[in-house]
Amino acid sequence: MQEIPIPGDPTWGGGLPQETGAENAGGARKNNDCTLSETFSSIFNKCDMNYINLFSMSESTQSPAGAPSPAAGAGGNEQPMIRMKNVQKYFDDFQALTDINLEVPRGQVVVVLGPSGSGKSTLCRTINRLETIEDGTIEIDGKLLPEEGKELAKLRADVGMVFQSFNLFPHLKIRDNVTLGPIKVRNKKKKEAVDRAMQLLERVGIANQADKYPAQLSGGQQQRVAIARALAMDPKVMLFDEPTSALDPEMVNEVLEVMANLAKSGMTMLVVSHEMGFARKVADRVLFMADGQIVEDAPPEEFFSNPKSDRAKDFLGKILAH
Ligand SMILES: Nc1ncnc2c1ncn2[C@@H]1O[C@H](COP(=O)(O)OP(=O)(O)OP(=O)(O)O)[C@@H](O)[C@H]1O
Ligand SMILES: [Mg+2]
């Protein structure tokens, strides 16, 4: 039977406590236990209640998702929203991230570029601890990413993630996909969650699809639902890992437009994407990665017009040739 993503699944993206398959070996819930035939509530009872209970203690105190933050842009002397210091990540003997130092101020939009295997997804995944790190520190909004437990669950709720594959719950209507996390995890009242879901669906341009099931939507529409679902958790940061690369070309723009609007609204965003137009127009900053390192870090116009490293020149040459 087909497995479905559930809150807590690394592919769910709703800002919930998530574990990778490898980390699940340490006693976290097993996704394999969940099948399509199970009801909504039994899925939760069976797979996620422990996590949800942990999570329900974390009430968001921040402004609604996407609301302009006081220090949006630059200038404030506040903590950066994301701060990585000397981060090292290994997969066995292979070093996937080497000495990552990165500060992303509140409200900044960072696009991450780089060849396949350069560590872009790993970078994203360490930020909400889908991947553990071997050395260094990561802070979200001034708080160190805790190793585990309730504190980690709290911090993870602040980091929404959207993946290449949208991973909506296939057996739930669009509206219910968006209300699920807020009701089960944030303890929101149903009416409040539904009102908010409808606002968010409106914002991503698909409120009229609320009563449909994911399979009845196009890929672009599904990805917009995935974005609305992540926003429904009121995250402080949104991470996007190649959100348009699984889409048919004619659907790419509708998703990029939603992301551009989110950026305008002041959301702090880290976006892995090879959409150069988006990087040029929307990003405040481009990071170029190669071999697990940040090789260049520059405003888009500078990066695209004057890449400094041979790796970046070579990469841009290949990408722009298409
Ligand atoms: N779970 C894992 N186990 C072992 N190695 C891994 C694992 N995940 C990633 N890697 C390795 O770490 C390196 C970085 O992978 P990552 O997925 O971060 O690259 P990427 O830049 O996102 O690539 P792509 O553009 O193809 O998505 C690669 O060499 C990859 O093979
Ligand atoms: Mg990747």
* Per-position pLDDT tens, the chain of length 322: 333 334 444 444 544 333 333 333 322 323 333 332 233 333 333 333 322 322 322 323 233 333 334 444 444 557 999 999 999 999 999 999 999 999 999 999 999 999 999 999 999 999 988 899 999 999 999 999 887 777 777 777 789 999 999 889 999 999 999 999 899 888 899 999 999 999 999 999 999 999 999 999 999 999 999 999 999 999 999 999 999 999 999 999 999 999 999 999 999 999 999 999 999 999 999 999 999 999 999 999 999 999 999 999 999 998 877 6
| Ligand 1 cavity residues, CB under 6 Å | 91, 94, 96, 114, 116-122
End-to-end CA distance of the chain: 40
Inter-residue contact 120 to 114 (CB < 8 Å): yes
**CA-nearest residue, atom 12 of ligand 1:** 96
**CA-nearest residue, atom 16 of ligand 1:** 119
**CA-nearest residue, atom 29 of ligand 1:** 117
Q: What are phi and psi of 14, to 5 degrees?
A: -95, 15
Which residues are within 8 A (CB) of 132 and not within 5 positions of it... i.e. 6 or more apart? 23, 89, 126
**Ligand 2 centre and the CA of 198: distance in Å?**
31
By C-alpha distance, which of 183, 158, 243, 197 is closest to 40? Answer: 183
**Superfamily (CATH) of domain 82-320:** P-loop containing nucleotide triphosphate hydrolases (3.40.50.300)
Cα angle at 278 between 69 and 117, to 5 degrees?
100
Q: Kindly state the tokens that stand for 322.
A: 């298409």
By C-alpha distance, which of 59, 108, 58 is closest to 80? Answer: 108
pLDDT of residue 77: 58
Atom nearest to 22 CA in ligand 1: 1
Atom nearest to 94 CA in ligand 1: 5
- Which residues have C-beta under 5 Å from ligand 2, the single-atom ion? 121
The one-letter amino acid at 76: G
pLDDT of residue 44: 33
**Ligand 2 centre and the CA of 119: distance in Å?**
7
Domain parsing of the chain, residue ranges? 82-320
pLDDT of residue 50: 28
pLDDT of residue 191: 98
pLDDT of residue 15: 42
Say how many C-beta atoms besides its own lie within 10 A of residue 124's C-beta. Answer: 22
Measured between alpha carbons, how far is 180 from 6 in angstroms, rounded to an integer? 10
Inter-residue contact 80 to 106 (CB < 8 Å): yes
By C-alpha distance, which of 229, 241, 219 is closest to 130? Answer: 241
Inter-residue contact 283 to 271 (CB < 8 Å): yes
pLDDT of residue 322: 66
pLDDT of residue 249: 93
Strand order across the beta sheet in which 82-91 lies: 94-104, 82-91, 135-140, 143-144
Q: Which residue among 24, 121, 291 has the greatest number of ligand 1 atoms within 8 angstroms of its CB, and so is best to mutate?
A: 121
Q: Tell me 215's DSSP state.
A: G
Atom nearest to 292 CA in ligand 1: 14
Inter-residue contact 185 to 230 (CB < 8 Å): no
Give the ligand whose atoms come closest to the C-alpha of residue 90.
Answer: 1
Atom nearest to 242 CA in ligand 1: 27
Atom nearest to 289 CA in ligand 1: 21
Which residues are within 8 A (CB) of 61 and not within 5 positions of it... i.e. 6 or more apart? none
Cα angle at 72 between 119 and 308, to 5 degrees?
40
Measured between alpha carbons, how far is 170 from 151 in angstroms, rounded to an integer? 30
